[in-house]
Amino acid sequence: MLTDIRLQNYRSYKDASFEFSQAVNIIVGPNASGKTNLLESILINCGESSYRGKDIELISHASDWAKIDCHTNEDIDRTIKLVRNLDNLEKTYVIGGQELKRISMQKTIPAVLFEPNHLNILTESPDSRRNFLDDLLEKIVPGFKETRKQYRRVLYQRNTLLKTGYSNANKNIFVWNLRLSDLGENIYSHRIKLIELINKSATEIYNSLANKKYDIEFNYVTKINNKNYSSSLIKKLEDNIKTDCERGFTSYGPHRDDFTVLINGHIAEESASRGEMRTLMLVCKVIEMRIIENSRGVKPIILLDDVFSELDGSRRKALTGFLREYQSFITTTDADIILHHFTDKANIIALSS
């Protein structure tokens, strides 16, 4: 848990400090008062990247550097230094006095972000759903972040080769097919295990949030034979080289997979109401909280960026029930829509424009 934070030259903050409660922290203020900037800085301090753009944009326009200082309830100092060097960013972590250029999963503070765009993950492009799975896996599986990077790198190399034409690609592509299939199977196997984990509690959490009795199932969707993903993927890659050359991209692999959600056996995207879709997204976030806690052995910090205003009263109340056990940070322009959901006293951080 975080006890306080100091921001220097961070976006709209020249030099500002804030103290936090170990329970619920409500960051309230008008638009453009810096609510989301403060929330984002907490996420950055936890070891993640900005969800609003490039990290270099975190430095205020009037400065070439920014700094985030934070303390935990275990009395550990955490500092992130951001230095602008022309168009490049130098990012340094100082954790417990140890300076690091990169941090391992174990050095991060687990956090769950929930912002309005997440409400549309289940209805947007498959890429958003793949990112949901892979972002969560990065938080619970050591080495998965690097595997994901390597896969993207190999995929880029293969796609570049495809653009040189069929004759050249066909002669030189086998090594990329082999590497892509190995990395792809790694990603696939972790995703499948995660889907199985999600399905263990999806129905229970949905019914708790919606006060209904529905059967919820997450299904992984792939065109690759899931009994032997690696060899099946190699065959697909080899059989479709000509088509891939014509298109200029790789047609098969985990970067083309997806998942669907079924409500009582029906595809949610085709049959669910807007309210039911929002409840499903709440299910995803609550499951994310639980999986991280069970995997890491510590409760994650919960960050909600103006989400309460997007939910109706019953869903606000239901979500509140799950938040009580966690240190939470909630941004809003109207604290009243949140305060009456918490019987315990919340810490109010009031900002002005």
Q: What is the DSSP string of 4-23?
A: EEEEEEETTEEEEEEE--SS
Q: What is the dihedral of CA 275, 217, 323, 333, to 10 degrees?
A: -30
E runs forming strands in 128-247: 216-221
Q: Positive or negative, the Cα torsion across 35, 38, 41, 46?
A: negative
pTM: 0.92
As a whole number of angstroms, the distance between CA 299 and CA 45 comes to 16
Which token pair is 174? Answer: 């086998």
Find all residues with CB under 8 Å of 48, minimum gap 6, and list them.
108, 111, 113
As a whole number of angstroms, the distance between CA 281 and CA 287 comes to 10
Find all residues with CB under 8 Å of 29, minimum gap 6, and list them.
35, 333, 350, 351, 352, 353
What DSSP character marks residue 273? -
The answer on pLDDT for 75 being more than 80 is: no
The answer on pLDDT for 79 being more than 80 is: yes
Q: What is the pLDDT of residues 134-180, one digit of tens each?
A: 999 999 999 999 999 999 999 999 999 999 999 999 999 999 999 99
- The residue extents of the domains of the chain are 1-110+300-353, 118-297
Which token pair is 68? Answer: 């985030």
As a whole number of angstroms, the distance between CA 59 and CA 172 comes to 43
Q: What angle do the packed helices 229-239 and 174-210 form, to 10 degrees?
A: 120
CA 116 to centroid of chain Cα atoms: 13
**Sequence letter at residue 34:** G
Spatial strand order of the sheet with 65-72 comes to 13-19, 2-10, 65-72, 77-85, 88-95, 98-100
As a whole number of angstroms, the distance between CA 203 and CA 214 comes to 7
- pLDDT, residue 336, reads 81
Q: What is the dihedral of CA 335, 338, 342, 344, to 10 degrees?
A: -20
As a whole number of angstroms, the distance between CA 60 and CA 62 comes to 5
What DSSP character marks residue 346? P
As a whole number of angstroms, the distance between CA 46 and CA 253 comes to 31
pLDDT average, residue stretch 321-340: 87
- pLDDT, residue 318, reads 84
- pLDDT, residue 241, reads 96
As beta bridge partners, residue 95 has: 78, 98
Task: Tell me which residue has tokens 């190699």.
Answer: 234
SS3 for 71?
strand
* Residues making up the chain, counted from first to last: 353
- Contact assessment for residue 73 and residue 1, using Cβ atoms and an 8 Å cutoff: yes
Q: Which CATH architecture has domain 1-110+300-353?
A: 3-Layer(aba) Sandwich (3.40)
The answer on pLDDT for 340 being more than 90 is: no
Task: Tell me which residue has tokens 């599986």.
Answer: 141
Of 170, 159, 158, 182, the residue nearest 231 (C-alpha): 182
pLDDT average, residue stretch 107-131: 92
pLDDT average, residue stretch 84-90: 89
- pLDDT, residue 73, reads 86
Q: What is the pLDDT of residues 192-227, one digit of tens each?
A: 999 999 999 999 999 988 888 999 999 999 999 888
- pLDDT, residue 344, reads 66
Q: What is the pLDDT of residues 236-264, one digit of tens each?
A: 999 999 999 999 999 999 999 999 999 99
**CATH class as words, domain 118-297:** mainly alpha
